[in-house]
Structures are given as structure tokens and as C-alpha cells.
Amino acid sequence: MKHNSLFTNRIAVLATMHQKERAIAPILEADLGIQVIVLENFNTDIFGTFTREIQRPGTQIAAARLKAEKALELTDENLVIASEGSFAPHPSIPWISSNREIVIILDKKHNLEIIGEEFSLETNHNHIVVESVEQAFQFANKIGFPSHGLVVMFSESPQCSQQVIKGIITEEQLVEAVQFVLENSPTGKAHLETDMRAMYNPTRMNNIAKATEDLVRKINSLCPKCSTPGFAITKKIPGLPCAICHSPTLLTLTVIYQCQKCGFSQEKPFPNASQYADPAQCMYCNP
């Protein structure tokens, strides 16, 4: 495969402590010719934890950027990769969890920042309060245990928790953790949730891989004017007309690509290869 010459045979530092290299490194090495190395003893938990002991500083992209910039400070390299995940109710279907993963690459040699993204409903993100080990195992079976890990704590709010037990991947660990919390909890209950750290969550790891593939696509998208990588969508304009009444909908009509180097921009109408929206998406035909 022909690699992008800006990245071929370069070393990239990956800022992770949760084995994300398993998802990221093979793709970047095969598709871009980058040699990925993991920064040792780099504590990414200081930028936020899913179990909420440490709040994330700023937005998801800001946190990923902070990881990348800190990793650059600690090395002599000029190419760095970091990722950040988030979990929240789906914006249109709030009773369903969604997972947004981003993978950022900072190239200080060429002054580039490119971000790959994956938004997915494929996630086991969930939590429950239990009063028995049996209830804990019912929840565990629901979320894909033991291939997917669990967290057991005294309360959903970590400020009130006496202990947060993470990385539970065996029945023995689960029994021990739940019994410990139930026996020592003032409420007689235990809070369980899915461990969303990448190495304990194969479903999330798969989404990180998809975000990496999106990053590669953006890197291989070159500016028509100056050939700089990362010629990507910077704005989406709604208004795709309804197929029945032709009224504008909230679906995307046009996207705008822009080069971060020379500023050249280009509009592309009908990015989803359809000139009309399904009437189900129309506020007049389907109020």
C-alpha cells in the first residue's frame, strides 16, 4: 500500500495506559507506515476517569488534546496520538446509550491536528444498584461479563464511596467485591457499572478502531489546492428537502470541507447520496 509521505517511517507516541495500542497501532502501521510506541508510565487518569473520581477537564476533544500535548512534553518525538471516549444518552433516543470515540494525531513537524471520530450505539454502558450477589450476576450476564469488566462501588457518587473496585473479570472477583460492599454499606446495597476502560471493554475497543479508521480516511483526504492531509468536513448545513412536501428538514443538505493549512474550502451537496429526506424525518409530514 502506498503511504502518505508525511507520515511514512515516522515514530508516533501513543498516550495511553489502557492498552489502546491494540486497536490503534495495527491500523496506523498498516495504512500509514507509522511506527507506534506507547509512552511508558503515563497516567491518563489525571485527565478524567469514567468512575468520576477525577472529572474530565473541558470537552472530549480538549481532554484528548491535553493528553497528546503532555505526551509530547515528555518525549523527544514530534508525532503523538491520543484518544478519548464519552458515553451519554443518544441525542434522539435518550433511553439508549451511545459511545463517541475520538482519536487525535498531533504533528508538530508539519503543524497539523487531525481527528478521527466514531459515534456508535454499540456499547454495553450500563449501571444498576443491587442488594444481592444473585442480582449482580444477572446484571453481569446482561452486559457481557466476563469478557467485559465490571466496577463495584458503594455509591454512584465517588465522593461518597469508601472504595471503588475496578477491573472485575472473574466470578470470584465479582462475588468478593459485591459481598464486601453489601456487608460494609450503610444502605445494604452495592452500585455496579460497566468498566468502560478500553482493556476491559472489547466493544469500546472496537469503536476506537473505527475512529482510527476514520482518522486514516481524513489523513488520506488531501487538500485539492495544497495537498495537505486532513481535508475534512468542518461544517454541516441542514435543510435536505422532504421527499413528499419538499420542506427543509434537519438532515444535512450540504457539507463544507476546509484545509487547516491554506484555508481552501469546498462545498459538497447531498453527502449521504440522497437528494431527498425520508418523510419520517419531516416535521410537517410526520409531526
Instruction: Give 49-99 pLDDT, tens digit per residue.
Output: 999 888 898 999 999 999 999 999 999 899 999 999 999 988 878 889 999
Residues 150 and 263 occupy one common structural domain? no
pLDDT at 127: 96
- Phi/psi for 100 (5° steps) reads -110, 120
Task: Please give the model's pTM, rounded to 2 decimal places.
Answer: 0.91
* Last residue of one domain, picked from the residues 179, 195, 211: 195
Residues 28 and 103 occupy one common structural domain? yes
pLDDT at 6: 87
Residue 169: give its domain's CATH number.
3.30.1490.20
**Residue 3 in domain:** no
Does residue 156 have a pLDDT over 90? no
**Residue 20 in domain:** yes
Residues 155 and 87 occupy one common structural domain? no
> Rounded mean pLDDT of 173-191?
95
- Of residues 162 and 129, the one with the higher pLDDT is 129
Residues 155 and 265 occupy one common structural domain? no
* Last residue of one domain, picked from the residues 144, 178, 195: 195
**Residue 2 in domain:** no
Residues 183 and 258 occupy one common structural domain? no
**Residue 119 in domain:** yes
pLDDT at 286: 86
pLDDT bin (cut points 50, 70, 90) of residue 2 is low
Which single residue is written with the C-alpha cell 500509514? 32
Residues 151 and 212 occupy one common structural domain? no
**Residue 5 in domain:** no
pLDDT at 5: 72
Residues 115 and 157 occupy one common structural domain? no
**Residue 103 in domain:** yes
Does residue 148 have a pLDDT over 70? yes
Residue 56: give its domain's CATH number.
3.90.950.10
Does residue 233 have a pLDDT over 70? yes
Residues 209 and 231 occupy one common structural domain? no
Tally of structural domains, the chain:
3
pLDDT at 279: 93
Residues 70 and 158 occupy one common structural domain? no
Does residue 160 have a pLDDT over 90? no
**Residue 53 in domain:** yes
Does residue 101 have a pLDDT over 90? yes
pLDDT at 4: 62
C-alpha cell at 257: 470541507
Domain containing residue 45 = 11-123+200-220
**Residue 1 in domain:** no
pLDDT at 159: 60
pLDDT at 162: 66
Residues 103 and 33 occupy one common structural domain? yes
Residues 211 and 80 occupy one common structural domain? yes
pLDDT at 93: 81
* Last residue of one domain, picked from the residues 220, 254, 274: 220
> Rounded mean pLDDT of 33-58?
92
pLDDT bin (cut points 50, 70, 90) of residue 22 is very high
Residues 67 and 174 occupy one common structural domain? no
> Rounded mean pLDDT of 2-15?
85
Average pLDDT of the chain? 94
